[in-house]
Structure 1
Amino acid sequence: MINEQIRDKEVRLIGADGEQIGIISAREAQRMANEKNLDLVKIAPQAKPPVCKIMDYGKYKFDAAKKEKEARKKQKTITVKEVRLSPNIQQNDLNTKLRNAQKFLQDGDKVKISVVFRGREMMHKDRGFEILDQATAQLKEFGEADGKPKLEGKSMGVLVSPK
């Protein structure tokens, strides 16, 4: 609430410089704000008596919006990158895929390593566990696995978070 919207009889007033003026009537506080060409803003309505401050409300709103925009700029969105492997992958191919996963982890992204089974490959689930264990062991210095490998339909996967 600002200016004439404040209907309380008495308010605790804080000046434009931040000094405590004390408990005065709302009309007197409004008059003081008008003398300085500023607004009277209720900042703590639940207090007894309510706390009001003399400030430039337009500038306050502008600064608050600016701070919020800066906070959104500094936010880092975490994305999940996926590296897909097969149960009969050769060692050199595995090393190439894990180098890509290493780059993703260094950039701060989470990596989902998944082994996709096709047809009769589902009979050799233990090969999938071996590959995922080997992959998480090679990526140990860049990230940690979030749990054990899980079988989800025709794929088995583990999520690796950066350190």
Structure 2
Amino acid sequence: MRVNEQIRISPVRVINAEGGMLGVMPTNKALEAAREVGMDLVEVAPNERPPVCKIIDFGKFKYTQKKRLSKQKQHQVQIKEIRVRPKTGDHDIEVKVKRAREFLEAKDKVLVNVLFRGRELAHIDEGRRVMEEVLQALEEVGKLEKNPSMEGRRMTAILAPRS
């Protein structure tokens, strides 16, 4: 982005501070017009023929551009985790599902863990039922990214937010 004396090409198409077209004029004449109103001549479209320059306050222009870029920052996706056990009660599962739904609506991924302790490993089918119940409840807000699988004493699945 070129400002004032950095603009080398002549002639340039000039737009005033209100957005009105002043027309095509030599660069030194455009600089004079900018100085008369106490502003800067900024090249906004250098690839056009002739290049387009605008008479604006350059400091204010940079500030608004910086502000616009900060608003466009992307959401940093995190993996949130919910843990349940094969003997977890229905109401407790509903609470965990509600929390997971909030995570998915905030565009975060959810790791669903079913933890097994001691003799619970003999009843993996009960843990699978709990996992399916959670996944079914979150079906409309999340899509399955990793199918449920056993990893040692835990069964895990990953849900990603629906676009």
TM-score by length of 2: 0.75
CA RMSD of aligned residues (A): 3.1
Task: State the percentage of identical aligned residues.
Answer: 31
Q: 1:151 matched to which residue of 2?
A: 149
Q: Deviations over 1:65-113 (max 9, x none)?
A: 33344555xx765543212234xx2252x54144133134246354321
Partner of 1:131: 130
* Cα offsets for 1:28-51 (capped at 9, x unmatched): 101111111110000001111111
Q: Distance in 1 between matches of 2:150 and 2:88?
A: 24
Partner residue in 1 for 2:41: 40
Q: 1:62 deviation in Å?
A: 2.0
2:53 corresponds to 1:52: yes
Residues 12-41 of structure 1: CA deviation (Å, up to 9, x unaligned): 111121111111110110111111111000
> Is 1:90 paired with 2:91?
no
Aligned to 2:4: 3
Query: What is the CA-CA distance between 1:129 and the residue it aligns to?
Result: 2.9
Partner Cα distance (1:32, 1:91) in 2 = 75
Shift of 1:123: 7.0
SS of the aligned residue for 1:42 comes to strand
Q: CA deviation at 1:148?
A: 6.0
Distance 1:141 1:156 in 2: 18
Q: What is the identity, as a one-letter code, of the residue corresponding to 2:129? A: E
Cα 1:122–1:149 shift into 2, 3 Å = farther
Structure 1: unaligned runs, 5 residues or longer: none
Q: Provide the rounded CA distance (Å) in 2 between the counterparts of 1:121 and 1:149.
A: 21
Report the Cα distance in structure 2 between the residues aligned to 1:147 and 1:32, rounded to whole angstroms.
Answer: 60
* Alpha carbons 1:145, 1:158 under 8 Å: kept: no
Amino acid at match of 1:151: S
Query: How far apart are residue 114 of structure 1 and its match?
Result: 1.5
User: Please, which moves more after superposition, 107-116 or 9-18?
Assistant: 107-116
When the two structures are superposed, what TM-score results if normalisation uses the length of structure 1? 0.75
2:43–2:51: 8 Å Cα contact kept in structure 1? yes
Aligned length: 157
What amino acid sits opposite 2:67 in the alignment? Answer: K
